[in-house]
Structure 1
Amino acid sequence: MKNYQRLVLSVLSALFLFLSFRELGFFTWFSLIPLLFVIYKSNLKQTFTFSLICGIGFFAGVTYWMTVLPVKFTWILFVPLLSVIFLVYGTAIYYIYKKINQPYIRMFLIPAVWIMVEFLRSQTLLAFTIGILGYTQHNFLPLMQITRFTGIYGVSFIVILFNTAIFETIIFSIKNRKAIFKYLIISISVLLIFVIYGIVSVNNNLNRVIKNKGYGEIKLAVVQPNVLFGQKYSRKGIEVIPEPYSNYSYFKEGTELAVFPESMLWGLMDESKDFKKWVKEILKKEDMYLLIGQYSHDEEFKEYYNSAFLYNSNLEVAGRYDEIHPVPFSQYMPYPKVLGFLKFLDFSIVNLIPGNDWSPIEYPGKGKLAINICYESTLPSIARNIRNNGAEAIFVLSDNSSLDGSIAPWNHLIFSKVRAIENGCYMVHCANTGISAIISPDGEMVVRSDLMSKTVLYGSIYLIPEKTFYSRFGDLLIFLY
């Protein structure tokens, strides 16, 4: 194979992978085949080079939204850094092909190595989960139901298994000069088993939620204020107040909980007097609770937290959650003693203190709510741990205003959609500039908003105490495999 052919195939894989994350998920099912051909026909040096080219092409596409961030060169620095992941993939696959002659073993070993790397890059305070292949199938709901057992990595495994099976089929057929489909049949059989399970699971789950009247219900108003990045805190909270539902009530009659996004107030409630006056009157008059994101602080204004507060109808604090995993370089400087040389990347307003309490918030008379703030919903372990600690629904509060009209808010919503399925519970995704949604336990969006619009979504969720296998045991099946 000539180097120009390797280049074309590497770029082709990068293109297919990129398109997979642009709502064309069917490309994922054969996206790795060109890269596998390159690695199969290359030495180690060539594998390094063209794996890196594929990684750069892929991550340059899926992270292009970073160009709208306040620090413009973030994207330029992140792309080559993330592309190192493809060096790891390429090197591992190279040695598998060189050392193992059994196609069946290779066919199952390559997906195992791939998802192991995906899992590892979802850990630590520097975790970055953009580009995990399983998310490309978020609309393939029957297949996505296996995440109740395996998490998102199980879907990645199936997708990569299908790619390796097609590749082994092509290689075997070329060598034997006749079409042999036994490897492809195995992968299709595995896929069908999980899809059939998913179809049955979706139907059973809907019946369980709809027909079982024992589940507690919360009627919600999900507020999307659409306050632009440069306008936050300009009017000390007045800017986040939505338009009234009618002349007779501010929120739709029967609403029990109003949900506002991340960091809508700077400081404690007393520091936003006009907003406090408005909301206290509304909560009392309409007998509601309020869940809202605030940048809170200690009495000496030395320590700041990205918090979510639950207030009762008297505007008394009923519960609080502090963000456990702030966004690195955006909300705080991670590992400052080690990464101090990267201080120029840090554009945080204050250096947030990470929380350490994985407990859900108790909603009196209703049940327990898990809170994920912003970036946290991209990390499966946070939602899973709080769910395993007793949460019966998950709320994601996010401020995507710095992302403008890019595809990033849609990608963020996909993470929440997958968390709902993994944990078998309702998910409420409340974003400042959108996209906001209420998501059912099977991944259906019950109601959703448009991006960059000021609106209020109304709907109900049910509090489901039963946990999925994944909620209870996490990535156990991946470790065992």
Structure 2
Amino acid sequence: MGMRIGRAPAGRIPADGSPVGRTPDSRREQVAALLRSPWWRGAAALLAGALPALAFPAPSLWWFAYVALVPWLLLIRAAPTARRAALDGWLGGIGFVIAVHHWLVPSLHVFIVVLAALLGLLWAPWGLLVARLLGGPPSGRRCALAVAAVPAGWLMIELVRSWEGLGGPWGLLGASQWEFAPALRVASVGGVWLVSLLVLAVNTAVALLLVTPRARTAAAASLVACALAVGAVWAWAPQPERTGQVRIAVVQPGVVDGTGSVERRLARSAELTRGLAGQDVDLVVWGESSVGVDLTHSPASAARIAELSREVGAEVLVNADARQTDGSERTGIFKSAVLVGPDGPTGARYDKMRLVPFGEYVPLRSLLGWATSVGKAAGEDRLRGTRPVVMDVPGAEGLRIGPLVCFESAFPDMSRRLTRDGAQVLIAQSSTSTFQHSWAPAQHASLGALRAAESGRPMVHATLTGVSAVYGPQGERVGSPLGTDASTAAVFDVPLATGTTLYVRFGDWAVYAALALLAALLAAEGTRLLRRPAPERPAPPARTVHGSPERPGH
């Protein structure tokens, strides 16, 4: 039986080889038709806002951050009205918040949607800003302004949501660049804030490249300017000077569940610590909540850890999650970094100052206390410490450490303050066991690279169940991280450094510069509106007298 070859439908085949009826113009028209539907457009905004999550660990596609926002920017630019642009910004913000914090779903359940909807409102004004600067035929001047102002607007969102009560600075776009050395050098100049500005500037310039040929020259010039700025920072920014090293051991007991888990975790930590004897370590670090009692009122537990200190020949930095008193009239549950030496607690103690909303306290508990019934919100509010503490480690030749607890490592100002107070090594004690099989452990550990690069001081991120990691004073990784499947103790040769980075010296200047730019832009826009001439009123119709128009003056 012969094979019959069918004929193509009548009509010409396009020169580009695309199927009949599927020309590039028709495909664009189909996409435009879909986006005219509010439901499809809303779904597109949610998806576009979620895309940057892929730049963070665990996927850690750091390079993707530089183009991840382009679809969202183009969608907002094409908004037919200002109201639609604000809505696209809001929906994209919801997608971003949920995607970056999706590992909170098992703990917060449907409440995360409520939080995302509230936080997403921060992106609505940004949507208006994007539409104003990217919409319409872009001139060279307007392109340059967009490359500066759109990132500045985004940075204001990051600044507002960095407030502890709104969840803290988790998922700052600049934090996605934790393993990109040039970006870490930028962080040493202006902190993670300057890195966020850089990432947004590149995204904005790429979006402009795709808009019209008229915008491409200015957009290409903006990309070149970004590259030159990074090159200048790489060559010119002062860097810390290496001054030796210190041997720090991280003890990670791993997952311990079930009845008596606190005691069994302590026993496993003790076992791993004993194995460090003879390795000439200067300090042993345990993770967050590694001790479940107040050592000042538990002589047996304090003596047990002191014995470990004698066996290893180094102080042990533990973390007590227990009902304690802070030496004043306040008594309650504190999370405290406590340094224990051969003779027991040395008296050096730091109480966690910034608490995880809903995880360690419920904001406005009288109003939002119902969150405890739909998730794993804190049944009792933890108490806060009142000041940062730099600890002297007696057995390590004058080593000074700056402890942080849990998500305090996300706050740039805290590590900067400890560095200014004389800390030689930053230490974060953490536990993300609740989110063990999610992206959270890797995301949390990556923050140590940013804090190290900003401060010019090494950082040790020690956890109960992984990921534990150590970073040098330029944010470079030291040794191999301890993954979430490890139950072990590891010794790291941590490089020490002196010198002051520009971020430690000048702080959040990038934030203030962005704020000043937006203020100037608003002032210019207000002045333009005031100078706009009032629309001329139409002349009143001529009156008719005895069937003929009445002429003026008669």
Question: What pairs with 1:406-417 in structure 2 (closer than 5 Å)?
Answer: 406-417=438-449
Does 2:227 correspond to 1:185? no
Q: 1:86 to 1:2 in 2, by over 3 A?
A: farther
Corresponding residue number in structure 2 for 1:104:
144
Which residue among 500, 507, 512 is the counterpart of 1:467? 500
> Which residue does 1:58 correspond to in 2?
96
Q: Secondary structure at the match of 1:145?
A: helix
1:331–1:348 contact (8 Å) kept in structure 2: yes
Question: Structure 1 residues 170, 76: CA separation in 2 closer, same or farther (over 3 Å shift)?
Answer: closer
> Which of 374, 387, 410 in structure 1 is aligned with 2:419?
387
CA RMSD of superposed structures (Å): 2.9
Shift of 1:267: 2.1
Match of 1:14 in 2: 49
Shift of 1:219: 1.5
Distance 1:15 1:76, change over 3 A: closer
Aligned partners of 1:244, 1:369: CA distance in 2, in Å?
20
Cα distance change of structure 1 residues 408 and 444 upon mapping to structure 2, 3 Å threshold: same
Where does the alignment leave 5 or more consecutive residues of structure 1 unmatched? none
Partner of 2:550: none
Q: Does 1:331 align with 2:388?
A: no
Amino acid at match of 1:4: L
Cα–Cα, structure 1 residues 185 and 242, in superposed 2: closer, same or farther, change >3 Å?
Answer: farther
- The number of residues matched between the two structures is 465
The answer on 1:134 being equivalent to 2:174 is yes
CA deviation string 1:274-324 (max 9, x = no partner): 654543223223321110100240289942211001122222324111101
Q: C-alpha deviations, 1:357-407, integer Å up to 9, x for none?
A: 123122233232111100111111111122222212100000111112211
Percent identical pairs in the alignment equals: 23
Quick check: 1:363 aligned with 2:399?
no
Residue among 373, 378, 381 paired with 1:351: 381
Q: 3-state DSSP class of the match of 1:241?
A: helix
Corresponding position of 1:170: 210
Cα distance, 1:160 vs structure 2:
1.0
Change (3 A) 1:244 1:376: closer
Quick one: distance in 2 between partners of 1:232 and 1:122? 34
SS in 2 for 1:265: coil
What's the counterpart of residue 183 of structure 2? Answer: 143
TM-score after normalising by structure 2: 0.76
Please point out which of 406, 425, 428 is paired with 2:457. Answer: 425
Q: What SS does structure 2 have at the residue aligned with 1:78? A: helix
Q: 1:122 to 1:62 in 2, by over 3 A?
A: same
The 8 Å contact of residues 46 and 93 in structure 2, kept in 1 or not, is answered as: no
Which whole-Å CA distance do the structure 1 matches of 2:486 and 2:455 have between them?
A: 29
Give 2:256's aligned residue. Answer: 228
Letter matched to residue 49 of structure 2:
A
SS in 2 for 1:333: coil
Assess, with a 3 A threshold, how the Cα gap between structure 1 residues 87 and 461 changes in structure 2: closer, same or farther.
Answer: same
Mean alpha-carbon deviation: is it higher for 297-306 or for 17-26?
297-306
Taking the TM superposition and a 5 Å limit, the aligned residue runs for 1:13-162 are 13-21=48-56, 22-42=59-79, 43-69=81-107, 71-97=108-134, 102-162=142-202
1:2/1:457 CA distance change after superposition, 3 Å: same
Q: 1:329 to 1:444 in 2, by over 3 A?
A: same
Q: Secondary structure at the match of 1:181?
A: helix
Q: Is the 8 A contact 1:395 1:429 kept in 2?
A: yes
Higher mean C-alpha deviation, range 117-126 or range 440-449: 117-126
Separation in 2, partners of 1:39, 1:352: 42
- Shift in Å at residue 245 of structure 1? 6.5
Larger displacement relative to structure 2 (236-245 or 464-473):
236-245
Amino acid at match of 1:322: D
- Contact between 2:465 and 2:484, CA under 8 Å: does it hold in 1? yes
Task: For residues 246-282 of structure 1, give each alpha carbon's deviation from its aligned partner in whole angstroms, at most 9, with x where no partner exists.
Answer: 5xxx435211211101111122226666654543223
Deviations 1:118-153 (A, max 9, x none): 122212433432332112222211222111111111
Gaps of 5+ in 2: 1-31, 515-554
2:349 is paired with a residue of what secondary structure? strand
For residues 181 and 12 of structure 1, the distance between their equivalents in structure 2, rounded to whole angstroms, comes to: 30
**Structure of higher CA gyration radius:** 2
Counterpart of 2:344 in structure 1 is 315
Partner amino acid for 1:332? Y
Give the secondary-structure state (helix, strand or coil) at the position aligned to 2:169: coil
Amino acid in the other structure paired with 1:407: W
What is the CA-CA distance between 1:95 and the residue it aligns to? 3.6
Give yes or no for contact 1:138–1:144 (8 Å, CA) kept in 2. Answer: yes
| TM-score (normalizing by structure 1) | 0.87
Out of 417-426 and 356-365, give the one that drifted further: 356-365
